[in-house]
Amino acid sequence: MTDFDHLPHEEQLKALLELARAATENYALPDHLTVVMINLSENATYKVEAPNGQRWALRVHRDGYHSKAAIASELSWLMDLRNSKVVVTPRPVKGCDGELIQLVSHPAMHRPRHVVLSEWETGSEPGIGEDLSKPFEVLGEVTARMHIHARQWKRPEWFQRHAWNFETSLGEARPHWGRWRDGMGVDAAKAKLFGRTVDLIGKRLKAYGQDNERFGLIHCDLRLANLLIDDGQVKVIDFDDCGFGWYMYDAATPVSFYEHEPQVPDLIAAWVEGYRTVAPLAAEDEAEIPTFVMLRRLLLVRQPGLVHLQVRQTERGDAFAHVLLRFLEQVIRIKDEHVHVRLERRHHVQNRGAARSAEARAHGKSVAKRLDRPAHDLARVGMFEARGELRDLRFGEHGRGGGHRVRSRK
């Protein structure tokens, strides 16, 4: 850990703001700017505003998380998405030196930080509790277009981003966000159930596979906080987590922190409907969405923004883990059965050419019938009763649950 990591939280915020203000001098911007933090998680994001009302978004990257090449890779993808008219994304602004990525120092920080400035995108984040069916349907359409683009796009040779596979998400050796078992509020009892769930997710994903049609370049954080609705147009922001993962993971992230809401199964169904208006989506892919909802939920137990900034919120972390526990207690029996069924079904499919007994064939038909349940039926089983608990958590003072996020960017 650096000296910055040991600073009191208020001093960290002060240092980050000072660095952000200093970074504006690297760009051809007007004088007398106001710089205000709007979000704090792995990175610190600021709204920069000129006296004439012109605005920009400035992001100070977390130390050591992404290399300059990885940040440049992120920008290359989002710019191609925008230029190809696949979806509206933030337009990065070059510094006075002609570079999109600036390096800015601060005395409290051991190393300079990477900084990126983008033009401000107007719009409002869709709020839970509203009728989100249409926005989710549109989101499904946009996600499908992004997936098509990702499959067809010829990436630069120097392109490099994280791979979000099972090991780097929930594994023990090299998870990008740290080990889930080290998350706040994960005691021995919770770790036992969470660990069982991790094993089940691992089995499902191993059976599901990582071929090119299922695994590729994705946004990785397409949740409500990273969507803007502007006169019916959906805009996508915050590509910081983009990397190589399962395409259906992008179906799970929109409901992050809201899995307990009663409308979520219908929202997932709307997402699927929208996706299929643009690209085909196999029944097996749809059926795996609940697995990715669970993977995402467990991944967020670690809450990297909280850990990185040394924010002491043990009670909040414990409540978050408690809500997850209640969720998994409801889902685990269904999931346990379906993991067993899923693996058996694949076994029968893979050995289709072999002679099978009448009993095996009958069992295969029974398995197929049970697996015909829509994905949203599985999701519905696991919705929280503790809606109020999680709603209170969703706008945590800092971290991936909301941070200093503004609800409107008009």
Q: Please write the tens of the pLDDT for every residue from 355-401.
A: 333 333 333 333 233 333 333 333 333 332 223 333 333 323 333 33
State the Cα–Cα distance between residues 205 and 197, nearest whole angstrom. 12
pLDDT given at position 223: 80
Residue among 353, 333, 351, 330 at smallest CA distance from 341? 333
pLDDT given at position 300: 83
Residue predicted with more confidence, 158 or 390: 158
* Ranges of H-type helices in 216-308: 249-252, 264-276, 283-287, 289-299, 304-308
Question: Domains in the chain, ordered, with CATH?
Answer: 3-119 (3.30.200.20), 133-394 (3.90.1200.10)
pLDDT tens, residue by residue, 62-113:
998 999 999 999 999 999 999 999 999 999 999 999 999 999 999 999 999 9
Pair 7, 15: CB distance under 8 Å: yes
pLDDT tens, residue by residue, 196-217:
889 989 999 999 999 999 999 9
Burial of residue 312, with CB atoms counted within 10 A of its CB: 0-12 exposed, 13-18 middle, 19 or more buried: exposed
Given pLDDT bands bounded at 50, 70 and 90, which one contains residue 129? Answer: low
**What is the DSSP annotation of 154-193?**
---TT----B--HHHHH-SS--TT--GGGSTT--HHHHHH
Instruction: Please state, for a pLDDT cut of 90, what percent of the chain lies above it.
Output: 51
Q: Is the pLDDT of residue 345 over 70?
A: no
Taking residues 162-183, report their average pLDDT. Answer: 90
Taking residues 157-180, report their average pLDDT. Answer: 92
Q: Is the pLDDT of residue 348 over 90?
A: no
pLDDT tens, residue by residue, 269-312:
999 999 999 999 999 999 999 899 889 988 888 765 544 433 33
